[in-house]
Amino acid sequence: MNQTTNAPLPDDEARRLQVLIDLDLLDSPPDERFDRITRLAARLFDVPTALVSLLDAERQWFKSRVGMPLSETPRTASFCAHAILQDEVMVVVDACQDPRFANSPMVKGEHAVRFYAGSPIEVGDGVRIGTLCIVDRVPREFGHEERTLLRDLAGIVANEVAALELKAMAERERRSASAVQALLEHLPDGVLLFDGGGNIVSCNPAAERMFGAPCQALAGLPGATLIGMQPAVVARHEGAGRRLDGGAFAAEVSIAAMTLEGEQHLVATVRDIAWHRAEQERVRAANLRRHDFFRTASHELRTPMASILGFSELLLKREFDAATGRELIDIIHRQATRLVGLVNQMLDLARIDAGGSAQMHPVPLDLADVVARVGAAIEDAAEAGRIVVQAAPGLAPVVADPLRVQQALANVVANALAYSAPGSKVEIGIAAEARNGRAGVAVTVADRGVGMTPDQQRQVYDAFWRAGALPDVPGNGLGMTIVREVVAVHCGLVEIVSNPGDGTRVTLWLPLESRLADAEAAR
Amino acid sequence: MTRRILVVDDQPDLRLLIRLSLRALGEVAQAASADAALAQLAVSKPDLLVLDIWLGEGVSGLQLCRKLKDDPAMAGMKIMLLSACGQQSDVAAGLAAGADHYMVKPFSPEALLEAAVGLLNG
């Protein structure tokens, strides 16, 4: 027989390997705790070699070694692989006489093992991770007392392993506790701990900020004082949080039951949802506004359509004299033109509303140029002649979308012309002006017309609202709505100064440094 | 027998359209607002009132309809509401205000005539 008999694997091999890996001992640096035991064993038994051998899947690795130049050897030729299979100390008096080892390279090779005695190192639930073993180059007898001594030494090795494991576990717990502590300290939600009676035991820094008092001041207070409800298990309860200084805030409270050192407790997370509430309200208002807009828009579109459809049907089905027929066609044409204008303006508004700043193409813009283009675009020369422009010299450019700003100014100028007497002047002033500490340029359009009541000035931005004073003025009630949207997107301002019968001054102010805003957010 | 119809609408074009559509039925008078309509109704009661809901500022057609239906002096006068609002809830609100018929704009003059005939003969 030219072959070593390999040791069978222990029944719990998989678990054994897992325990060994979890101990984190394999390939660790030398440790005096174990080295002193191997030194002691070598001296006590008067052998050249003593080892703490750990049995890994494919090797035995020596955690401590005396008289052994190698740090590991293959598991196949290992004596220890046999030793961990039995409860007692395994003794090989003469390896040459033992069929399991007679042909082992360990026995035949340069290391020439003849004598072996190994005691399993047992940790935890009887898992044998390796052995404390002694080796000699000559055969030896190993009596009962010596076996007991070796087993005791192996027990000390096992104790050292257990002590290391305990220390590692304590360290892990300390780290995990400090991680939980850090988590609580940095959690943006307030955390309150209540005792079984609902009184505050402790809290985290977010709760201290939220309720405006240090933990010591909050401790002992009834929970209801802070969260407006007797603490009880609840999920996402929306209520009011009360600060110690009397202030209140909208709070979302969740409470869970927990047991701490055998005592019933409650733990609450408190979230300040004032912002969330405001956001909900804003969305609700925006939806309502949109709904109203579409309702009104559909009404406004149907009205000219009623004329177009109705008169064309009459013309098709009935006979009219030439003059009446022409009058009806004229109405159809006028209403169709009105319809197109309405659709175009609604599209403009929708584009600004939906796209916000993304739909804008801002460039440095000289507002005096824009005002000149607005005047030039007025077809009726008599109307255009009513405009008087006074631009301050050396105006800085604003950063804005040229087409949108022109459209907004054109709407303001059209209103000024329409709601004032024919032939009266409309004065446009352009000047550098600051608002809220920001530099900008103001364009003021002043007419000497009918003016507006405070109520009318408020309503003027509502879509499809039209000043009732002059029903014969053409328009669709979207002009000032578009002005407001365009200005809002540019982070600018619209100001109206007016009194009934005393003319109207509308000022469009745009900042020099434009941060284009979302139209929705800017409102 | 000549029927008398009063058309109330703030849009002159639509007043003309309705007058042209219904003139075969009889005498068609017009008013541009709720106030003007009430002034005419105080003088004489027509057989049919064609009433736009959206009359600009002031009393709405819906309010006027309710008021007239509650007025014993106006008993027997049919009211047709006209509106550009054609959702089910709008129609229901119109009928709840006592209207005998609810016509949605835009409408066909033929259909308007037909509905008016139905109301006058009903």
Residues A264 and A148 in one domain: no
Query: Nearest CB to B105: which of A306, A318, A334?
Result: A306
Taking CB atoms and an 8 Å limit, are A335 and B11 in contact across chains? no
User: Which is it for strands A263-272 and A190-195: parallel, antiparallel or unpaired?
Assistant: antiparallel
Beta bridge partners of A117: A91, A134
Single-letter amino acid code for the residue at A118: G
Say which amino acid occupies A332.
I
Assess if residue A70 is contained within a domain: yes
CATH number at residue A86: 3.30.450.40
Structural domain total, chain A: 3
Sheet strand arrangement including B78-83: B26-31, B3-8, B48-52, B78-83, B101-104
Q: Are residues A51 and A83 in the same domain?
A: yes
Alpha-carbon span A251 to A245, nearest angstrom: 16
Nearest to A228 by CA among A207, A249, A213, A209: A249
Question: 10 Å Cβ neighbour count for B6?
Answer: 23
Supply the CATH number for residue A372's domain: 3.30.565.10
Q: How far is B121 from chain A (nearest CA, A)?
A: 23
Per-residue pLDDT reduced to its tens digit, B5-31: 999 998 899 999 999 999 999 999 999
Same domain for A365 and A222, yes or no, is no
- The CA–CA distances, whole Å, from B91 to B68, B79, B97, B101 equal 18, 14, 10, 9
Residue A177 lies in a domain: no
CATH of the domain at A226: 3.30.450.20
Co-location of A198 and A232 in the same domain: yes
The one-letter amino acid code at A203 reads C
Q: Is the pLDDT of residue B48 over 50?
A: yes
> How far is residue A392's CA from residue A399's CA, in Å, rounded to a whole number?
18
3-state secondary structure A82-149: HHCCCCCCEEECCHHHCCCCCCCHHHHCCCCCCEEEEEEEEECCCEEEEEEEEEECCCCCCCHHHHHH
Judgement on whether residues A259 and A235 belong to the same structural domain of the protein: yes
| DSSP code of residue A496 | E
Any domain includes A506? yes
* Whole-number pLDDT of residue A3: 47
Alpha carbon of A492 to those of A81, A193, A352, A441, A499: distances in Å? Answer: 84, 49, 15, 10, 24
A315 and A253 belong to one structural domain: no
Give yes or no: residues A91 and A210 share one domain.
no
Output the CA angle A140-A143-A149, nearest 5 degrees.
110
H/E segment holding residue A202: strand A200-203
Check residue A4 and report its DSSP letter: P
Question: Same structural domain for residues A264 and A308?
Answer: no
Looking at chain A, which residue has its C-alpha nearest residue B15?
A307
Answer whether residue A179 is part of any domain: no
Distance, CA of A158 to CA of A150 (rounded, Å): 12
β-strand partners of A446: A427, A505
Give B64-100 pLDDT, tens digit per residue: 999 999 999 999 999 999 998 888 888 999 999 999 9
DSSP symbol at A176:
H
B118: contact with A, CB 8 A cutoff: no
Q: Which chain B residue shows the shortest CA-CA distance from A320? A: B20
- DSSP secondary structure letters along B19-65: HHHHGGGEEEEEESSHHHHHHHHHH---SEEEEES--SSSS-HHHHH
Using a CB–CB cutoff of 8 Å, tell me whether B107 touches chain A.
yes
A208: containing domain? 188-272
CA distance A339 to A47: 110
Q: Which two three-digit tokens encode residue A42?
A: 């070598």
- SS3 at position A326: helix
CA–CA gap between residue A342 and residue A335 (Å, rounded): 10
Whole-number Å distance between alpha carbons of A314 and B21: 8
The pLDDT value recorded for residue A518 is 45
* Distance between CA atoms of residues B100 and A401, nearest Å: 53
Tell me, what's the ipTM?
0.91
Q: What is the pLDDT of residue A355?
A: 67
Structure tokens at A323: 């003059």
- CB-CB contact of A255 with A232 (8 Å): yes
Name the closest residue on chain A to residue B32, using Cα atoms.
A471
CA distance B117 to chain A (A): 17
Contact residues, chain B, for A336 at CB < 8 Å: none
Q: Does B70 touch chain A (CB under 8 A)?
A: no
Residues in chain A: 523
Q: Exposed, middle or buried, A485 (CB in 10 Å: 0-12/13-18/19+)?
A: buried
Cα–Cα distances in angstroms (integers) from residue B61 to residues A346, B20, B67, in the given order: 27, 21, 10
Q: Are residues A218 and A314 in the same domain?
A: no
Domain boundaries along the sequence of chain B? 3-121
Going by C-beta distance under 8 Å and a sequence separation of 6 or more, which residues neighbour residue A134? Answer: A41, A42, A45, A47, A49, A50, A51, A116, A117, A118, A150
What is the rounded distance in angstroms from the CA atom of residue A105 to the CA atom of residue A1?
Answer: 13
* Pairing mode of beta strands B48-52, B26-31: unpaired
Encode A167-190: b = buried (16+ Cβ within 10 Å), e = exposed. Answer: eeeeeeeeeeeeeeeeebeeeebb
Q: Which residues of chain A have a CB within 8 Å of the CB of B84? A: 298-300, 302-303, 306
Residue A515: what pLDDT? 59
Q: Are residues A373 and A225 in the same domain?
A: no
Question: Which residues, including other chains, have CB under 8 Å from residue A189's CB and lie 6 or more apart?
Answer: A206, A269, A270, A271
Axis-axis angle for helices B34-43, B61-69 (nearest 10): 30
Which residues on B lie below 8 Å from A331 (Cβ)?
13, 16
Same domain, A442 and A403: yes
Question: So what's the pLDDT on residue A449?
Answer: 87
pLDDT (tens place) for every residue of chain A, 523 residues total: 344 567 889 999 999 999 999 899 999 999 999 999 999 999 999 999 999 999 999 999 999 999 999 999 999 889 999 999 999 999 999 998 988 888 888 887 766 889 999 999 999 778 999 999 999 999 999 999 999 999 999 999 999 999 998 998 899 999 999 998 899 899 989 999 999 899 999 999 999 999 999 999 999 999 888 898 888 898 888 888 898 888 888 899 999 999 988 899 999 999 988 888 888 888 888 888 778 778 778 888 888 999 999 999 999 999 999 999 999 999 999 999 889 988 888 888 887 777 666 667 888 989 999 999 999 988 888 888 999 999 998 888 998 889 889 989 999 998 899 888 888 999 999 999 998 888 999 999 999 888 888 888 887 877 776 655 444 455 667 888 888 888 888 888 999 998 888 889 999 999 987 655 544 444 4
Beta bridge partners of A250: A240
Shared domain for A197 and A136, answered yes or no, is no
Tokens standing for A326? 């022409």
CA neighbor of A49 nearest in space, from A38, A34, A60, A37: A38
The tokens for A508 are 């469009």
CA–CA separation, B120 vs B114, rounded Å? 10
- Which residue, among B8, B96, B87, has the nearest Cα to B54 in the 3D structure? B8
Superfamily of the domain at B3-121 = Response regulator (3.40.50.2300)
Residues whose CB falls within 8 Å of the CB of residue A216, separated by 6 or more in sequence, listed in order: none
Chain B residue with Cα closest to A301: B84
What part of B 2-21 touches A (C-beta under 8 Å)?
10-11, 13-14, 16-17, 20-21
CB B78 within 8 A of CB B119: yes
